[in-house]
Amino acid sequence: MATSADDMNTKLTFRKFEDGDHDWGRWEEQIFVADESHKCPTYVHQTPPCQGSCPAGEDIRGWLQIVRGIEKPTEGMSMAEYAFRRSTDANPFPSIMGRVCPAPCEDGCNRNAVEDHVGINAVEQWIGDTALENGFTFSPAGEETGKKVAIIGGGPAGLAAAFQLRRRGHGATVFDDHDKLGGMMAYGIPGYRTPRDVLDGEIQRILDMGVEVRLKTRVGRDVSLEELEKEYDAVLWAIGTHSGKHIPVEGADAPNCLTGVDFLRAFNEGRLQLAADRVVVIGGGDTSIDVASVARRLGHISDSHDKDAPEAVVMGYTAHDVSATATREGATVTLTSLFPVENMTAAEHEVQDALREGVSIRGSVMPLEVLKNEDGRAVSMRFAECELDGNRPVAKEGTEFTLECDLVVSAIGQKGDLSAGLEDFDNGYGFIDSDAHYQVKGKPGHFIAGDIVRPHLLTTAIGQAAVAVESIDHFFKNEELKKRPKVDVHHFDLLAKLHETHLDPEGYDTSAVGDFRGTDDANYAVHNYEDRSPNSVIPHEKLFLGHFKFTPRNRREEIHISADEVLGNFQERLVAYAEEKAVAEAGRCMSCGMCFECDNCVIYCPQDAVFRVKKGKNTLGRYVDTDYDRCIGCHICADVCPTGYIQMGLGE
C-alpha cells in the first residue's frame, strides 16, 4: 500500500532493516581474533552531504552546530558572531545567499532520508541579517605581503576574491565598468529578492578590509591590459556574463525583442518603470522567472508614447517618468520553456511564486518565428509543442499556435563581453577557458572565477573565487599547485579547533624522548581520530537514523503575493527567523560525520570503555574517548552513533 502524503510529512520513515533482510550475521566472527579484538572504535570525521553539495563549500554543519549551541564560541564572542565568522570563512554574503541561493545543500541534506530537510537557507539568512544588525565586521586583513592583484569585475566572484585576498594580506583593486559594485546581485536579481541595503552592507564590510575600487572603468578601453600587467602581480578575471542571447528564430531582430540581462539591468538601474501589455518570456531558468515576475509588477500604461516603449528605455535612449506609473495597469505575462514545467531549471519555489503572482507558464514548447507588423515591431510569436532529442527540441507536427505580444524577452543564456582589447581571452563562445585551479590557460599570472568560466549559481562563483585566490597565493610563493581534494570544501580542522581552545598537542622532540610513538597516553599527538573529510562524503546509510525523532521544520515565513496584489508590489517576500526559531531549526541538523555529544556511545557501552573527555580537555570532535584496556570490540557504540562518527577497526 502506498504511503500517504500526510504520513510522509508527519511520520518517520527510517527502518533499520529492509524487506528480505532475514540473515543474522555472527558479529563475533567479524570482530574477535582468538580471545582479543583489534576492532575497537575510531572517531572518523567525514564531510556532510549538505557541505558536499554546496558550490561554495561552506562549513554548514559547523555553523549549524554553533547556532544550536553544540560548538561554543571563543571567550568574549557571542554565538551569533561566532556563527557569522564560521559561515563567512567560505562565503562573505550570508544575508544575500540565505535569500537567493536555490540551496542544493538542502537537496543533499541527509535528513531527507528521515523527514523534511533542515532549513539551511533560512538559518543562513538569520546569521547574515543578525551580523548586519549588530555591525559585525570581518577580522582585519592579514599581514601585508606587498603583492597586488587586479580584480576585473565587482560581482560576487570578484568581491569574494577581494575578501579572500585581503585575509591573506594581498592587495586587491576591483575594476568595474558599472556605477556601483554587486554585479548580477545588483544588476541581475530584482531588489525585492536582494534588498539593496542588505547587499550594500555586505559589500561595504569587504571594502572596509582595505579593498581599492575603480568604478566606471572598462579594462581594455579605459585602462589597457598591458598597464594592469605592469602595475599588478596577478590579474583575476571575474567579469561575469552580462550579454544576453537572442532567440535563434526569424524575426528576433525586432526592436521590441530584448534579452533578459538587458531588461533586468534597466529595471535595477531604476530606468525601466513599465513593461508592456502582453509580454512573452522565453527561458525556463531563474533569470526568466525574474523577468516574468518583474514584468507582472511593472505592468503597463495604455496611452504611452514611443519614448516609453520598453526597448527605448532598456537600450538607454530614454527613461520612464515615474509619475506615469500612477496610471499603470496589469500586464499579461507568458513564460515558455523547452522543458516540461516540472523539469525547468528555475528553483521550484520561484516557479510557484510566479504562478501565484499570475504568470502563465507553458512547458514543452519551442519558438518558431517572431511575426512583425509593417513598422518592424514584434506583434506575435509562433510556437509549437516539442519533445527533446537530447538537448535538441523537435516540434510536434500539427501543434503550432500563436501568442500575441508587445514585448518579447529572451532569457535563454548569457555570455561575456570580451570585446575592446580582450579578444585574446575569448574561447570562441564568449567565455574564458581555465584549468582546475582557475588559472587562465596559456596566460601565466592570470586567473579566473565566476560566470565567465560557465554561468551557474552565485554561490558557485564565490566558491571558484576562493580556489582562484588559493592558486594566486601559491603563484606568489612559487609553489607547485597540487591536485585539488576530491571533496573540495572548507573543512573542519580539529588541530585548529584545539589551538582555538588552548588544547594544542605538545611538541615532539625525538632527541629527548626517542623515536617511540606508540603510546596512547602521550599528549604530543591526537589519538584515535582520522580525518577523511577531504575524500569522503558520509551517506545517510552510515547514520543511525532511528535516533532521530520527528521534528517539524521551522519554516521561514514568506509573504505570498497574489495575482491581484502584484502590480506595483516590490516588497521583500522572505521574513527572517527570530533567534529562537533559528536555534530550533539548527537543532534539527543531524551533524553527519561529526559527534554532536548525544552520549549514546557512553550510555550503551557494556564495558564502560567509552567515556567523556574531562571538562577543560574536551572540545568539538574530542567529546568522547575510548579506554582500550576495557574495549572488547562489540561495536555497539558504532551501531548507536547517530552521526556515523564512530567506525570500527580501521587500518586493515
| pLDDT-derived band at 28, boundaries 50, 70, 90 | low
How much of the chain, in percent, has pLDDT values that exceed 90?
A: 79
Residue 101 has pLDDT above 70, yes or no: yes
> C-alpha distances in angstroms, 212 versus 36, 137, 151, 170, 204?
65, 17, 10, 12, 12
pLDDT tens digits along 214-259: 999 999 999 999 999 999 999 999 999 999 999 999 999 999 999 9
Quote the pLDDT of residue 650.
Answer: 57
Quote the pLDDT of residue 36.
Answer: 54
Provide the CATH number for the domain formed by 148-242+416-476 in this structure: 3.50.50.60
| pLDDT-derived band at 3, boundaries 50, 70, 90 | very low
Quote the pLDDT of residue 312.
Answer: 87
pLDDT tens digits along 128-163: 999 999 999 999 999 999 999 999 999 999 999 999
Answer yes or no: are the C-beta atoms of 544 and 17 closer than 8 Å. no
Q: How many helices, marked H, and strands, marked E, lie in the chain?
A: 22, 25
Residue 17 has pLDDT above 90, yes or no: no
| pLDDT-derived band at 318, boundaries 50, 70, 90 | confident
Q: Which three cell numbers stand for residue 269?
A: 538601474
Quote the pLDDT of residue 2.
Answer: 45
3-state secondary structure of 259: strand
Q: CATH number of 244-334+351-364+398-413: 3.30.230, 3.30.1490, 3.50.50, 3.80.10?
A: 3.50.50
Exposed, middle or buried: residue 383 (CB in 10 Å: 0-12, 13-18, 19+)?
A: buried
* Nearest of 46, 29, 152, 18 to residue 539 by alpha carbon: 46
Quote the pLDDT of residue 315.
Answer: 83
Quote the pLDDT of residue 518.
Answer: 58
pLDDT tens digits along 491-500: 999 999 999 9
* Nearest of 202, 208, 132, 213 to residue 172 by alpha carbon: 213
| pLDDT-derived band at 652, boundaries 50, 70, 90 | very low
> What's the mean pLDDT in 8-30?
63
Backbone angles phi, psi at 201, to 5 degrees: -65, -40
> What's the mean pLDDT in 453-479?
96
> What's the mean pLDDT in 528-557?
92
Residue 292 has pLDDT above 50, yes or no: yes
Quote the pLDDT of residue 463.
Answer: 97
Quote the pLDDT of residue 358.
Answer: 97
Quote the pLDDT of residue 309.
Answer: 85
Q: CA torsion, points 495, 496, 498, 501, in degrees to nearest 10?
A: 180
The DSSP secondary-structure symbol of 626 reads: E
> What's the mean pLDDT in 446-467?
96
Quote the pLDDT of residue 24.
Answer: 63
pLDDT tens digits along 404-443: 999 999 999 999 999 888 999 999 999 999 999 999 999 9
- Interatomic CA distance for residues 588 and 575, integer angstroms: 20
What is the average pLDDT score of the chain?
A: 91
Quote the pLDDT of residue 6.
Answer: 57
| DSSP3 helix / strand / coil % (the chain, rounded to 5) | 30, 15, 50
Quote the pLDDT of residue 1.
Answer: 37
Quote the pLDDT of residue 651.
Answer: 47
pTM: 0.91
- Interatomic CA distance for residues 224 and 424, integer angstroms: 13
> What's the mean pLDDT in 40-62?
94
Residue 271 has pLDDT above 60, yes or no: yes
Topology match between the domains 148-242+416-476 and 244-334+351-364+398-413: yes
Those residues with Cβ within 8 angstroms of residue 466's Cβ, 6 or more apart along the chain or in another chain:
56, 57, 90, 160, 161, 164, 490
Residue 548 has pLDDT above 70, yes or no: yes
Residue 634 has pLDDT above 90, yes or no: no
Q: Which three cell numbers stand for residue 407?
A: 514585448
Locate the domains of the chain by residue range. 148-242+416-476, 244-334+351-364+398-413
- Interatomic CA distance for residues 46 and 470, integer angstroms: 23
Name the β-bridge partners of 626: 610
> What's the mean pLDDT in 469-489?
94
